Amino acid sequence: MPGLIPSRPFFQMLANRQFPAGTFIRSREQLDYLEEPDIFHDVFGHVPLLANHAYADYMNEYGRVGLQGMERKAVKFLARLNWYTIEFGLIRKPEGVRIYGAGIVSSYGEAKYVAKDRSAHQLAFDLERVLRTGYYIDDFQSTYFVIDRFEDLFDLLKGGDILALIDEIRNEPTLTPFEILKRDKVIRKGTGDYWRDFPRTKTKLK
Ligand SMILES: [Fe+2]
């Protein structure tokens, strides 16, 4: 069915090692991006990586933490984590920085933007930073966060400390994806060219 699956069944399915997939497919005009996940995004973008144990364990744990997070008003922050990892994450490989986020994998335009355009920042993954960084859902990213190994993602969630961290930072101001902070470990500083004509997006920062 079109649309986003609500949080609770989404977390529940992940916690049961199930993965929901859209059943409709995008039109030719939507090849680059659509806000609602279709079967191409879900099956081509997400499903292959579920064969990776560490990635699958992270998704599973994300579902469990998500269910707890619903009771603790943490969903907005967990959604940012999902956005900057599972949907738009990059990973450092010996041969260079590579894409793994399903939102990029399933968009020819954004995959090309990440590979060839130097506008966006690439920052080393930092959990607190990610939880505080908002995102726009209707254009390419201006900041990507880069992990070193899929195991690192799982380690982030082990023990459930992330919910305590969310409690600590929930009243801190939201960071925009355009800025680089002193504390950031910059892998590649973006030129910002693509985003020069800001505001490009019609949506609010999430
Ligand atoms: Fe997705």
Average pLDDT over residues 169-187: 95
Distance 172 CA to ligand 1 centre (A): 27
Instruction: Kindly state whether residue 2 falls inside one of the protein's structural domains.
Output: no
Q: How many CB atoms are closer than 10 A to CB 97?
A: 15
Distance 182 CA to ligand 1 centre (A): 31
Amino acid residing at 193: D
Distance 97 CA to ligand 1 centre (A): 20
Whether residue 112 has pLDDT greater than 80 = yes
Instruction: Kindly state whether residue 80 falls inside one of the protein's structural domains.
Output: yes
Q: Which DSSP string corresponds to 8-49?
A: HHHHHHHHTT------S---GGGSS--SS--HIIIIIIIGGG
Distance 37 CA to ligand 1 centre (A): 6
What pLDDT score does 159 carry?
64
Percent of the chain with pLDDT over 90: 76
- Domain extent, residue 85, equals 7-195
Q: Is the peptide bond before 20 cis (omega within 30 degrees of 0)?
A: no
Q: What's the total number of domains in the chain?
A: 1
For 82-98, what is each residue's pLDDT tens digit? 999 999 999 999 999 99
3 state SS of 98: strand
Distance 41 CA to ligand 1 centre (A): 6
Instruction: Kindly state whether residue 72 falls inside one of the protein's structural domains.
Output: yes
pTM: 0.93
Whether residue 122 has pLDDT greater than 90 = yes
Instruction: Kindly state whether residue 20 falls inside one of the protein's structural domains.
Output: yes
Distance 23 CA to ligand 1 centre (A): 13
Instruction: Kindly state whether residue 143 falls inside one of the protein's structural domains.
Output: yes
Distance 60 CA to ligand 1 centre (A): 15
